[in-house]
Chains A and B, each alone.
Chain A
């Protein structure tokens, strides 16, 4: 069965960077986009971008250009998101989710459990 297992909660200092992971199993990792979504406490969902692990292509929400960097390791079926120059505004739960146009029109049928990132000195 499809599973997306995300790394654990992070407590990080302002100005630093953090890299969170999303390990995929139960499907061909290189055949689906991996999307990342931000959810601040009490707020809605914000789409960050996607990476296609098959060739490393990426697409970002303009708002996250320079903030988020998406990568993928085909050998371990793991997608990564690095967030840089962290501020309190980056404190949020971050989700990974699988998507593909030919699979439910690109709707996100599978989600990770979320990774809480807290930015605090």
Chain B
């Protein structure tokens, strides 16, 4: 089964900083990756699909990149409302495995 490994597990960032988080697939998933944001007590929200396509209404400070096995989510000029958990997921083919997540905290 495919394994999605996210790093780091957590990070503490100041408002206005640029943050990069990673997702590594155990096998080639081409560009079939999505990224989600989840805040406590809420359902996850789709940010990025096909590795680099921003979902409707997602601010352009969120950027996804990568292909094959290594993927990155970058947030430029982090805002206070970006404090959340971020998950990557293999899409298009099953199993639609999620990574364990990265917790983004604001200093």
Q: Which residues of A contact B (CB under 8 A)?
A: 35, 37, 44-47, 49-50, 59, 61-62, 95, 99, 101, 104-109, 111-114
A54 to B39, CA, bound (A): 33
By size class, the interface of chain B is 20 to 34
Kindly state the separation between the CA atoms of A61 and B30 in the bound complex, as whole angstroms.
21
Interface residues of B (CB under 8 A from A): 1, 32, 34, 36, 38, 43-46, 49-50, 53, 55, 85, 87, 89, 91-101
In the complex, 10 of the A-B residue pairs with CB atoms within 8 angstroms, ordered by the A residue number, are A45-B38, A47-B98, A59-B94, A61-B95, A62-B1, A62-B95, A105-B50, A106-B96, A107-B49, A111-B45
B91 with A47: CB separation less than 8 A: no
| CB closest residue in chain B, given A95 | B43
A101 to B34, CA, bound (A): 12
Q: CA of A99 to CA of B34 in the docked complex: distance in angstroms? A: 12
Given A62-B1, A111-B43, A114-B43, also A106-B100 (CB < 8 A):
no
A47 x B49 contact (CB < 8 A): no
